[in-house]
Chains A and B, each alone.
Chain A
Amino acid sequence: MKQQDSFFQKRIKPIIQHKVFTLVCLYIAMVLIFTVWAALRGTSFLKVAIFRNILNSLVVSSFLTMGAGCLLIAGHLDLSQAAIGAFGSMVLASAIKGWGLPWFLGVIIALALCAVFGALNALLVSKLHFPSFIGTLAMASMVKGLMYLFSSLGNNGIASNINFVDKTVTFIGTGAVGGIPVGVIIMLIFFIIYGLIISKSTFGMKVTLMGGSPVAATLAGINANTIMLILFINSAVMGGVAGIFNAARLSQGALNALTTNQFTGLTAAILGGISFGGGVGGMGGAFVGLLILNTFQIGMGIVGVNPFWVNVFSGLLLLIALSFDFLAQQRQKRSLAH
């Protein structure tokens, strides 16, 4: 009896108490609701093809989520991520089309440019002490302007999308291996790596400690500026990866790439339990958060809800998730108040 108790305490209880467990339960409930709802409407939801679709729809946003999520754990925001990513997609397209470079060089150049913008973000926040909200908002505007200037070079001054043809890039964007889309495979590998980094590595430990209290972490020898530099560069580069996937799917570097995904990364991260104040959460939660968000949207489409309403409900979903987070924090504070 006693042994069972300790087994429950040690193994089962932490799993049940974990935030991700609640999210997974929520997800399962959502799938069940859609299954029943779809059946009532005379269609079906619980099908392999639909889940492949859902996973495939996560790919572009997932990289934004990983970048934004890591940064959010450290207590910072990056509002320029989507703009930087779009610029990355334009650079890749012109590298292939205009400069005639092989695709991998295009990818390297695009990501390197993104990294530079990320480093500038870090500089604004850590050295010039702008709040990350303001610093990266300004950066978003500048990057967008630069992207338009870039795309209008040698084009009579008119900014435009750039179409390109490259078999490998198209395969990465739209191909499949053994029935599983290549993008999904890459996404899952990235999630596992990022999950391990955040929850198991010394770097991840420093990130969460810094998110918990930047002052205390700095005074205990954690170099907050270095961590911020890495995370802002990471966020921008992941924005670039998302932009590249977007370009690969459309065979086009698009000026308005990622505009619909602009806040998806952040939303999924928050939905997945990464606290807005920093210091809490991980990649597992972020993944489930993203899954919930997209399953919700696709499910709503299948049961035939007006897409405009779907946006309204997505917003409500985020509010509900945030209030759970808020209530949990309040409860924790109150129980420690004596």
Chain B
Amino acid sequence: MAKTLEFRGIGKSFPGVRALDNVNFKAEGGKVLALLGENGAGKSTLLKILSGDQPASEGEILVDDKVTAFHSPHDAQAAGISVIYQERQLMPSLSVMENLFAGALPKGKLGLVDKNELYAETQKIISEFGLDIDPAEEVGRLSIANQQMVEIMKAYRRDSDIIAYDEPTAPLSEKEIELMFKVIEKQKAAGKAIIYVSHRMNEIFRITDEIVVLKDGRQVTTLQTKETSEAELIKSMVGRDIGDTYSNLRRNTPTDDVILEVRNLSTPKVKNVSFQIHKGEIVGLAGLVGAGRTEVARALFGADPITGGEILIEGKPVRFRSPREAIDAGVALCPEDRKEQGLVMYRSIADNVAMPVVNYLKKGLGFVDRGQAATLAERAVADYAIKTPTIFKLVAELSGGNQQKVILGRWTSEKVKTRLLLLDEPTKGIDVGTKAEIYQKICDLAREGIGVLFISSELTEVINLADRIYVMRGGSISGCLPRAEATEENVLTLAMADETGDAGKRKEGRA
């Protein structure tokens, strides 16, 4: 019993912005339809309309050829539609089973919740997914990847006929992505209509049948996945030919001078990590989500306490007690969670750029030198081609890519003197065009002699950008791959292998 979903002439206007304009397409049951477009192209808005979160300004949605109107997320769910958002909508202090069955808890005697049945039903779904999660575990205690899987299971549990995934793989590692793809295949076989939003080309080619490309709120084209190519897709998304992103980069050349040396670094979540970064070198840090990559970066930045080991910057041992001390020593961090940790969202670009150097922007009596702050921000906007009418715009109003550029601009202003740049998932959720710009900037910074630590879950990106890759697994480094040996297969082997497996041999390759 295949369902169909059709958008007919959908438009959406916000004050001063035309977010969607005349979008028409049909998602058929038993097929996966990809929704592709740069950030700000209107994908999220379309999903919000589908989920009943926001009304469309014009046009209609048809489910099984019948016009359907949603006034709330509840209406949409009742019509058999589930949308899995990028931002997880879970209750962290409740258990996995309570989250899965919220609103449909099985009742036993006296109208109380039947915990046994709840547990069993949840276990059944978890097993179908092939995951190893305890149904009674508090969701907030799960890894981010598993939380995302819970979100996906929630939609699966509702057994909706139309399921939309909004960049579901962003927080997942390869292993979970595989599991999730199997679930999608199963849903597809069951005749469900699936809409899949992602920036990752390999995923789109792997699981989708049809691709709708959006640009600036308009539908550019609709293509059959089998009949198109990555180059064609990128071209229609950005509206120009950006060629092969990586081969066009002006590359850096690593020097022999060591900027950072880490010896047996340990924290509560990291064990005996040792590695080096040279001046002008981009060092990749790969591994599954939860392997301890973020924790290494945070420890180097003085954000988390260190329990053992040594950090040397240009040969001098350092031990930072706060990010402030790290910044003063020339270390900078672009944190994983841009919105929560990187930026003060409801403040201007100028304020966000000035943050680490507020103390140096003094003029007499401790007043802020606004002129100097403006100069810094203007330069960041120019250097990174940040799309904004003024430096006084709130960063919350910028797209994800431009927000990341603000953070980069902050760390590379002339007042900070960054020598070592720690980038934690710097391109997460950023569109292809802006990604290419950021890659070039990272290379440019390395060319200036800055050492870069590049953490990313997107394998193609680490492999193509890094001069060397360290791979982490379970809080330790499991190996190091020089650029020549960096293939997806090699990285994954190190990221997932057992202690005694291939990883043992690889360790010899460590620089």
Which residue of A196, A200, A220, A338 contacts B356 across the interface (Cβ within 8 Å)?
A220
Whether A202 touches B367, Cβ cut-off 8 Å, given contacts A209-B351, A213-B345, is: yes
Q: Which of B74-123 contact A (CB under 8 A)?
A: none
Interface size on B (CB < 8 Å)?
43
Residues of A near B343 (CB, < 8 A) are 213, 216
Give the interface segment out of B12-20, B154-162, B283-291, B432-440. B12-20
Which of A172-180, A304-312, A329-337 lies on the face that meets chain B? A329-337
- Is there a chain A Cβ closer than 8 Å to B44's Cβ? yes
Are A202 and B362 in contact, CB atoms less than 8 angstroms apart?
yes
CA distance A215 to B339 in the complex (A): 10
A214 → chain B closest CB, angstroms: 10
A279 at the interface (CB under 8 A from B): yes
- Beta-carbon contact of A219 and B324 below 8 Å: no
Mask for B345-368, Cβ within 8 A of A = 1, else 0? 111000110111011011001111
Beta-carbon nearest neighbor of B344 in chain A:
A212
Encoded as 1 (CB less than 8 Å from any A CB) or 0, chain B from 268 to 305 comes to 00000000000000000000000000000000010100
Q: Do A223 and B355 contact each other (CB < 8 Å), given the known contacts A202-B368, A209-B344, A215-B340?
A: no
Alpha-carbon distance A203/B365, docked complex (angstroms): 11
Q: Which one of A201, A332, A338 contacts B368 once the chains associate, using CB atoms below 8 Å? A: A201
CA distance A285 to B363 in the complex (A): 25
Contact indicator B322/A223 (Cβ below 8 Å)? yes
**CA of A212 to CA of B347, assembled, Å:** 8
Which among A213, A215, A219 has the greatest number of chain B C-beta atoms within 10 A?
A219
Shortest distance from the beta carbon of B426 to any chain A beta carbon, whole Å: 14
Contact of B346 among A212, A223, A338 (CB under 8 A): A212
A100 within 8 A of B: no
Residue A222 interfacial (CB < 8 Å): yes
A168-212, CB < 8 A from B: 196, 200-206, 208-209, 212
- Are B362 and A335 interface neighbours, CB within 8 A? no
Q: A203, A217, A335: which contacts B14 (Cβ < 8 A)? A: A335
State whether the Cβ of B264 lies closer than 8 Å to any Cβ in chain A. no
Q: Is the CB of B346 within 8 A of A279?
A: yes
Q: Does B327 contact A (CB under 8 A)?
A: yes
The minimal Cβ–Cβ distance linking B331 to chain A, given in whole angstroms, is 10
Q: How far is the CA of A222 from the CA of B19 in the complex (A)?
A: 37
Say if the beta carbon of B45 comes within 8 Å of chain A.
yes
- Asked if A221 is at the interface of the complex by the 8 Å CB criterion, the answer is yes
Report yes or no: A202 in contact with B359, Cβ–Cβ below 8 A: yes
Q: Are A223 and B324 within 8 A (Cβ)?
A: yes
**Digit string of B300-325 for contact with A (CB within 8 Å is 1, else 0)?**
01010000000000000000001110
Report the separation of the CA atoms of residues A217 and B335 in the bound assembly, to the nearest whole angstrom. Answer: 12
Cβ contacts under 8 Å, A205 to chain B: 351, 354, 358, 368
CB within 8 Å for A200 and B367 given contacts A209-B351, A221-B355: yes
Contacting residues, chain B, for A335 (C-beta < 8 A): 14-15
Q: For chain A residues 210-247, which have a beta carbon within 8 Å of chain B?
A: 212-213, 215-223
CB distance from A79 to the nearest CB of B (A): 25
With contacts defined as CB atoms under 8 Å apart, how many contacts are there between chain A and chain B in the complex?
A: 91
Q: Are A219 and B333 in contact (CB under 8 A)?
A: yes
Chain A interface bracket (under 10, 10 to 19, 20 to 34, 35 or more) = 20 to 34
Q: Which of B12, B15, B342 has the most CB of A within 10 A?
A: B342
Q: CA separation between A280 and B17, bound complex, in Å?
A: 26
With a 10 A CB-CB cut-off, give which of B15, B323, B342, B410 has the most chain A CB atoms.
Answer: B323
Q: Which residues of A contact B368 (CB under 8 A)?
A: 200-202, 204-205
Q: Which listed residue (A212, A219, A223, A336) contacts B341, Cβ 8 A?
A: A219
Q: When chains A and B are docked, how far (Å) is the Cα of A200 from the Cα of B17?
A: 34
Cβ–Cβ < 8 Å partners of A212 in chain B: 344-347
Task: Tell me whether A209 and B355 are in contact in the complex, defined as CB-CB below 8 angstroms, given that A203-B366, A219-B303 are known contacts.
Answer: yes
CB pair B351–A337 under 8 Å, yes or no, is: no
Q: Once the chains are docked, how many angstroms separate the CA of A223 from the CA of B327?
A: 12
Q: Would B355 and A220 count as touching, CB distance under 8 A?
A: yes
Is B24 part of the binding interface, using a Cβ–Cβ cutoff of 8 Å? no
**Residues of chain B contacted by A219 (CB below 8 angstroms):** 301, 303, 323, 333, 335, 341-342
Give the chain A neighbours of B44 by CB distance below 8 A: 338
Bound-state Cα–Cα, A335 to B362, Å: 35
Among B301, B361, B396, contact of A336 (Cβ-Cβ < 8 Å): B396
State which residues 344-396 of B face A: CB under 8 Å. Answer: 344-347, 351-352, 354-356, 358-359, 361-362, 365-368, 394, 396
A208 to B355, CA, bound (A): 11
Q: Which residues of B contact A279 (CB under 8 A)?
A: 344, 346-347
Per-position 1/0 for B34-60, Cβ under 8 A of A: 000000000011001000001000000
Instruction: Tell whether, in the assembled complex, residue B367 and residue A201 are in contact, meaning their CB atoms are under 8 Å apart.
Output: yes
**For residue B322, which residues in chain A have a CB less than 8 angstroms away from its CB?**
218, 223
- B19: chain A residues within 8 A (beta carbon): 338
CA distance A337 to B328 in the complex (A): 36
Measured CB to CB, the closest approach of chain B to A65, in angstroms, equals: 22
Interface flag for B64 (CB, 8 Å): no
Shortest C-beta distance, A17 to chain B (Å), equals 13
Q: Is the CB of A336 within 8 A of B397?
A: yes
CB atoms of B324 and A221 under 8 A apart: yes
* Complex Cα gap A202–B361 (Å): 7
Q: How far is the CA of A206 from the CA of B354 in the complex (A)?
A: 10
- Give the most central of A209, A212, A336, A338: most B CB within 10 Å: A338
A338-B14, A338-B17 known; A222 and B358 CB under 8 Å?
Answer: yes
CB distance from B407 to the nearest CB of A (A): 9
Contacts of A280 in B (CB 8 A): 346
Contacting pair B344 A221 (CB below 8 A): no
Chain A residues with a Cβ under 8 A of chain B: 196, 200-206, 208-209, 212-213, 215-223, 279-280, 332, 335-338
Q: 10 smallest A-B Cβ distances: which pairs?
A: A220-B355, A212-B344, A221-B356, A221-B327, A213-B344, A221-B324, A201-B366, A338-B19, A202-B358, A220-B356
| 4 additional contacts (CB under 8 A) given A196-B367, A338-B45 | A200-B367, A201-B367, A212-B346, A219-B342
